[in-house]
Structure 1
Amino acid sequence: MSSQRVESKPPEERPPSTAEPQHQYRNYTEGKLLERVYNTYRLMHTHQTVDFVRKKCAQYGPCSQRRMSVMEVLALLDELVDESDPDVDFPNSFHAYQTAEGIRKAHPDKDWFHLVGLLHDLGKVLVLFGEPQWAVVGDTFPVGCKVQKSVVFGDSTFHDNPDSKDPRYSTEYGMYQPHCGLENVLMSWGHDEYMYRVMKFNGFALPKEAFYMVRFHSFYPWHAHGDYLHLCNEEDLRMLPWVRELNKFDLYTKQEELPDVQQLRSYYQGLIDKYCPGELCW
């Protein structure tokens, strides 16, 4: 499959017209799900180290777990409720359709972007392969350098992480060079990096923007708070508006009213057949 190009003009940065006020989302200070969310991040921030991430990249990089179509993986997510999400408590498969449909309404001429909305969280299938949720879900952050203030619960959950006591990894740049580019940064392991590798391994016929959005959509400290810019290069900054554009629909389309999946399936199957058909290696 060959990659196609999209227009270089970045998307307009404004919330979807159907969005609820931003303060209703990503509340990490109160709410009925807070204890569950905090415990997930505590485990994540204790165990996500440079060595751990390298081991997971080696384990899952070859995409040799099993062969499945996109729709088969999406169906598996009927069984998954994301324990890091303070906003919703329903299966992740519905969130995929909510995100995709929000993008479809706002960008009717970009069918590849509709598909990105459907695909962006499919890497969470790792939980159903046996991985703990702290190694799959939640916001991502670079390992191998000092943790920035905007990392969720970052002031109280890294105390038992061995890298936090390692002088090689405890400075602002850590093991990286200034403006080395995010492609050269080792991110905490999770569904973003895994799905990016699946897309790359299987040669999804999508533009570079799509790969970037999937790979970094959970990197909130960067795209929402402006941290880690000292590691970014010009390409990262050019792609940043696209990551933010996906985030608008990833975040603001979360509604308790669930979509009619059966009614939508044929449209998205057509996009899958166009950009990533058949059984894929996972």
Structure 2
Amino acid sequence: MTILYEHPPAFGVELEEKNIPVDHDGQENELVLDGGFIVPDANSFGHTFRDYDIESERQKGVEEFYRTNHINQTYGFVKRMREEYGKLNRVEMSIWECCELLNEFIDESDPDLDEPQIEHLLQTAEAIRKDYPDEDWLHLTGLIHDLGKVLLHPAFGELPQWAVVGDTFPVGCAFDESIVHHKYFTENPDCNNSAYNSKYGVYSEGCGLDRVSMSWGHDDYMYLVAKENKTTLPSAGLFIIRYHSFYALHRAGAYRHLMNEEDVENLKWLKIFNKYDLYSKSKVRIDVEKVKPYYLSLIEKYFPAKLRW
């Protein structure tokens, strides 16, 4: 099976999903991406990736997480969080220092991952690096995409997990039915507010996703940190950081009526990135000290030595 994606001309690359090996029963059992990265057929718990329905203790916790998330992520809440954390007055530290800080946390919203976050960051970055050796900005994006999870740390207010992780979605307009555990939005006050519960809500067709308020969490926070600290990452890198958990868009195609032309181009890169973000969650360990010099060089290229957080 081969699937080709169109990519922005400025970067001029293409993604190829190569032939899938077949097991003894004639069943497809793994996916090999360009460069040899193998997509496993099960997560670290032995289940299908992003399966939110299978019965398990962890799945019950994930569902409860989304119930709380969907009730509390309102347009007003997001506005308050952006105003507070957009000041970037919590601490000054480097990108790598932030990577090390994330070692302390496990993402409770993720049904596929129980490893420390730095393991996932490096797994993602190294898998991308193998398949796209010339796109160093994409390697770095893989490394830093989840750094906003420092919001869980006491120095950042120790926000509850429902305000830091999980799938993201627009607020200020109707909640699309493709959003995981959509049923819990019925308890969200915005569902009964005519200003926010229509298809467009406070937005207009083609307004651009940069004008859309997303549910608050690590994605939007890291986007603000990168943008306000004057990163030189291309717009596709910032797009990936802000929308990598926006599964309703890049998996279900929802909310496309709010996108502009730049969003459409950047979405092509996000769909590439998502394969590595999702399927690189494995038990393969990364030699941190071996790869650290390379990523430090990328950090120096695209970011200042110290960032305001």
Counterpart of 2:21 in structure 1 is: none
- Could you list the per-position Cα deviations for residues 181-216 of structure 1 after superposition, in whole angstroms to 9, with x for gaps in the alignment? 111111101111110110011111211111111111
Relative contact order, higher structure (CA 8 A, sep 6+): 1
The normalised TM-score by structure 1 is: 0.94
Decide which of 11, 15, 30 is 1:12's aligned counterpart.
Answer: 15
Q: Is the 8 A contact 1:6 1:207 kept in 2?
A: no
Aligned-pair distance for 1:95?
Answer: 0.4
Q: Identity over aligned residues, as a percent? A: 46
User: Considering only CA atoms, is the larger Rg found in Structure 1 or Structure 2?
Assistant: 2
The normalised TM-score by structure 2 is: 0.86
Decide which of 286, 289, 301 is 1:274's aligned counterpart.
Answer: 301
Query: Which deviates more from structure 2 when the two are superposed, residues 200-209 or residues 50-59?
Result: 200-209
Counterpart of 1:71 in structure 2 is: 96
* Structure 2: segments with no counterpart, 5+ residues: 1-7, 18-30
Matches within 5 A, 1:235-254: 235-254=262-281
Counterpart of 2:4 in structure 1 is: none
Counterpart of 2:24 in structure 1 is: none
In the alignment, does 2:180 pair up with 1:142? no
Q: Is the 8 A contact 2:235 2:266 kept in 1?
A: no
Supply the AA of the counterpart residue of 1:19.
V
Aligned in 2, Cα 1:244/1:52: closer, same or farther, shift over 3 Å?
same
User: 2 CA distance for matches of 1:73 and 1:261?
Assistant: 14
Decide which of 174, 184, 207 is 2:201's aligned counterpart.
Answer: 174
* Structure 1: segments with no counterpart, 5+ residues: none
Decide which of 181, 200, 220 is 2:247's aligned counterpart.
Answer: 220
Supply the AA of the counterpart residue of 1:86.
P
Q: Give the aligned CA root-mean-square deviation in angstroms.
A: 1.7
Query: Which deviates more from structure 2 when the two are superposed, residues 233-242 or residues 118-127?
Result: 233-242
Secondary structure in structure 1 of the residue aligned to 2:245 = coil
User: 1 CA distance for matches of 2:71 and 2:235?
Assistant: 33
Secondary structure in structure 1 of the residue aligned to 2:39 = coil
- Could you list the per-position Cα deviations for residues 136-184 of structure 1 after superposition, in whole angstroms to 9, with x for gaps in the alignment? 10110000111111101012x1122110111111111111111211111
Counterpart of 1:115 in structure 2 is: 140
Secondary structure in structure 2 of the residue aligned to 1:158 = helix
In the alignment, does 2:220 pair up with 1:193? yes
Supply the AA of the counterpart residue of 1:225.
A
Aligned-pair distance for 1:119?
Answer: 0.5
